Each structure stands twice: as C-alpha cells, then as structure tokens.
Amino acid sequence: MIKLIDVAKFYDTRHGRVRIFDHVNLAIAPGDKVGILGRNGAGKSTMIRLISGAEQPTSGRIERTMSVSWPLAFGGAFQNTLTGLDNLRCICRIYGIFPEDKIEFVEDFSELGGYLREPVRTYSAGMRARLAFALSMVVEFDCFLIDEIVAVGDARFTEKCRTELFEKRGDRAMIIVSHDPTYIRAHCDRASALVGGRLHHFEDLDEAFSFYNAAMVGPAEAA
Amino acid sequence: MRFSLRDLLRSGAIEWRIVHALLMREVLTRFGRHNIGFLWLFVEPMIFTLGVTALWTFAKMMHGSSLPIAAFALTGYSAVLLWRNMPSRTIGAVDPNLALMYHRNVKVMDVFLARLILEAAGATISFVVLSIVFIAIGMIEPPEDLLVVTAGWFMLAWFGFSLAVFLGALSEEYEIVEKLWHPSAYLLFPLSGAAFLVDALPVAAQQAVLYLPMVHGVEYLREGYFGSQINAHYDLQYMALCNTALLLLGIAQLRKISRMVIPE
C-alpha cells in the first residue's frame, strides 16, 4: 500500500508562500492503476515527487509498504561525462542490483549497441530517452510512477516500451500523471483530478473527465 | 514507531550501498579513465605539498625553531590540505547532484559523505606517501610517536569534516557562503599553524591564535612527529568541543535544507 494522509505542500517563493495543494488523501493498493489529471502547473509533478519520496511534504504523512519507482519520464540522473554503461552501474549500485546481469538487457533494449560505452553527452535526445527507459526497467518495483506520456523514439520503440511496461509489468500498481485523456483511458482504472489545490477522486473515468473538463472551462481556479 | 537492531543494520547496509555508488561515480567524473586517472586523488595534493616544501626551503623561511623546513612544510601543508579542501568540496555540491535526488535513498548527506571520504583519503595518502619518501631519503627523521601523529591527523580530519558539513549545508541556503569561503580559506592559511610554531609567537598572539581549532590539531601532529624538539601548545578537549559544535550545527542545517531540496 501507499497512503497519503492529509498531505500538503507549500513552496516559499519570492512573492511569499504558495500553496500547491493541501488536504490530499490517496490510497494505492497493489495492482491499482490510477491516473492523476491536472493542467500545467497544477502540481502533478510535485505530487509524483512526494509519492516517490524524492521530496518531503510540508505537512501530513506518506506511508509506503511497497517499493516505488522514481518518476519514469525523467532522464535517470545521467552524468553526461560518463558512459551509458557507467550510468547503468551507478543506478544498479544505488538499488543494490548486480550490474553485470543487466548490461545485456540494456544494450539490447535501448538499441544503443557500442554507444553504450560512449559518454552520454555524445547521445542524441532520442538515444538518451531510450537509455533512460531501459534503465527504468532494470529495477523491479511494486509501483511505477509515470510522469506524462512515456513517448520514446519512433512508433516501433514506443510500442516496445508499452509492451515492456504495461504488459510484462501489468500486475504492478501504476500512478500515471498526464493531461492527455487518451493515455489515461488506455492504462487506468480510476482517476483523480488535481484542481484548485485539492485532489478529487473518481471511481469512474468518465466522471473524472467530465469533472476535469468542467474545471478547465470554468473560471480560473481560485488559489 | 519501534526501532530494532535489524532495521538499523538494514539502514546501514542501504547507506553504505548509496555512498559506495556515489563514491564510484565521483571517482569516474572527477578523474576519469585517462592518463593516471584515479591516482590524481593523491598525486595532486602531493604536488602541492612538494611545491610548498621547495618554496619554503629556497626562501629559507623563518619559523622560529631548529626543525628542518621539509619536516615543517610536510606536517603543516598536509594539514592545511586536509581541513581546507573538504569544505571546498561540499560547498555547492548539491546542485550538480540534484538529478540523483530523484532516487529516494540518495540524500544530501550521502553526496557530502562520498565527496568527503574521497577528499580525506587523498590528503591522507599524500601525507603518508610523502612522509615515507622523505624519511627514506633521509630528509626527515621518522615520527617519534606514530599514535600521536595519527590522533592529530584524525582530529584535523574531524575538524575538516564538521566544517565541510556545516558550510556545505549553509551554502545551499545562503549563496554568500560560497563567495566568502575562498577569501576566508586563503586568509586562514597563515593563521592555521601551518607556517609557524605557536611557541615562537609572542604570548598575546599565542592566546589569539589558539582560538582557532585547527591550530591545536597541527600542534598535536607536530608533537607526535618531533615532540622532543619543540614545545607544542594544544588543548584537544577544546578542539573536540569545537568539532562537535560545528558538526551538530551542520547536521541541524542539513536537516533544514533537506526539506527544501527539490530534485530538478
């Protein structure tokens, strides 16, 4: 289980304290597929960082009794001067995995071939994204956090990622953050909408979308 | 919440795993695999110490004792490298490592620990290797009391570590720390006891300079190296007190900034 209990997050900015959200409660059971909807700047990524444990809430509690991934869309903390292989070794050491077993998989999946032994700074954006996705599949988690659409490389590679994540790991819990209804519909069973600094829960996807769409066309959210 | 020994051991294992991962990453990014690679860790401080030793020898620097200048420079300058380079490695250390903080178990302290272990190891290897070389070619006598030398070195490393954690954590909140550290480090060098023996100073100056914790460490180090030839002035209790206070302040500040660090 992952439980967010009365979680609030505030940031101190140049124009004073800003509330991102508060009174947020959320429970994720093993295997749950939950979408979080929200417009740009609503605090979706902040929420993902809080759930992952990379950032601490201002108040409230977050309990985790299953392992949670890092936010998947993110580059994987590459050190640009290091090779892809060194970056793989670093991630493996952090998560206590023996790296040598994973080299073949990453080499294969990322389709980088010999470039895996070149510094990451020489990679194109697509190569980096492929490496990042391959690295995220190296560590097994009970719950995957997916920030925006995992659209990597060309259509064929996107399909490969979809199989790897949503089919082979279909039994895991997933929290998907996006403003794209199609993506959420394809992969989630329920959704919550982050609107006006509150998280609204819906068991039904259609209800979630109609609420979200109404909020989008309605008056600007009162802060 | 209940804490058991097993939880503690598991936390310890995770902690070591993270620091080890960061250590390897740091070694590769700092030294790479080109030319002598990892050896730069202690070759660089060795070149520094050798250069200063040569300069002081040619300048026939006055230090108020009959000690050979080589012995004087080796103990003094190695000590400076030890405590002065550690804060330089932690100040501004968070920013280049922000992306790593996306991994839950990676904390600011781990980044500091990896860098500080590396820095202390470099300075220590440099000091030991140069000591052995200088002794082997007869430039200096072997230390009179190795245990005292070790203890003095440890006290200086502890001071450097505490100062580094404190200033590193403070620099995350106040940019001015980084700006002020360079001139302060430069100005503290002549006052740190590296280039003089406390005994050679006028009494009023002795009292003033002994407010600086690292002076006690350098004096104790020299007590161990050539205690019978000098009259060392030190108060290890005072130094330990300063080190502890700095470390506690550092950990408190670290706790404060840990809540503010946002992975990029």
Is B4 part of a structural domain of the chain? no
Selected residue of A64, A93, A120, A136 to mutate for chain B interface (largest B Cβ count, 10 A): A93
Min distance A13 CA to chain B CA atoms (Å): 11
Rounded CA separation A54/B99 (Å)? 10
Burial B31-63 (b: 16+ CB within 10 A, else e): beeeeeeeebbbbebbebbbebbeebeeeeeeb
Chain B hits for A68, Cβ within 8 Å:
104
Distance of CA A110 to the CA centre of its chain: 19
Domain check: are A64 and A10 in the same one? yes
The pLDDT score that the predictor gives to residue B234 is 94
Is A158 part of a structural domain of the chain? no
Residue type, B203: V
Q: Do B21 and A49 touch (CB under 8 A)?
A: no
Is B122 part of a structural domain of the chain? yes
Min distance A188 CA to chain B CA atoms (Å): 24
Return left, alpha or beta for B37; rule: phi > 0 is left, psi -120 to 50 is alpha, else beta: left
Is A167 part of a structural domain of the chain? no
Give the residue on A whose Cα is nearest the Cα of B96.
Answer: A79
Give the residue on B whose Cα is nearest the Cα of A67.
Answer: B104
Chain B hits for A90, Cβ within 8 Å:
21, 24-25
The tally of domains found in chain B comes to: 1
Question: Least CB-CB distance to A77: which of B28, B100, B259?
Answer: B100
Q: Do A86 and B259 touch (CB under 8 A)?
A: no
The pLDDT score that the predictor gives to residue B164 is 97
Is B173 part of a structural domain of the chain? yes
Distance of CA A150 to the CA centre of its chain: 9
The tally of domains found in chain A comes to: 2
pLDDT (tens place) for every residue of chain B, 264 residues total: 567 888 889 889 999 999 999 999 999 988 887 788 888 888 988 998 899 888 888 877 666 667 788 888 899 999 999 999 999 999 999 988 888 888 989 999 999 999 999 999 999 999 999 999 999 998 888 999 999 999 999 999 999 999 999 999 999 999 999 999 999 999 998 899 888 888 888 999 999 999 999 999 999 999 999 888 888 999 999 999 999 999 999 999 999 998 888 887
Q: How far is residue B55 from each of residues A161, A193, B68, B185, measured CA to CA in Å? A: 62, 69, 14, 20
A interface with B, Cβ–Cβ below 8 Å: 12, 49, 52-56, 68, 70-71, 74-75, 77-79, 81-82, 86, 89-91, 93-96
pTM tops 0.80, yes or no: yes
Element (H, E) at A56: none
Q: Domain range for residue A9? A: 2-69+175-217
Q: Do B28 and A86 touch (CB under 8 A)?
A: yes
Domain check: are A58 and A94 in the same one? no
Is B204 part of a structural domain of the chain? yes
Is B18 part of a structural domain of the chain? no
The pLDDT score that the predictor gives to residue A222 is 43
- Please answer whether residues A78 and A12 qualify as being in contact, where contact means their C-beta atoms are separated by less than 8 angstroms: no
pLDDT level of residue A220 (50, 70, 90 thresholds): low
Rounded CA separation A25/A2 (Å)? 11
Q: Domain range for residue B172? A: 39-258
- Sign of the C-alpha dihedral computed for residues B153, B158, B160 and B161 taken in this order: positive
Is B121 part of a structural domain of the chain? yes
- Please answer whether residues A50 and A2 qualify as being in contact, where contact means their C-beta atoms are separated by less than 8 angstroms: no
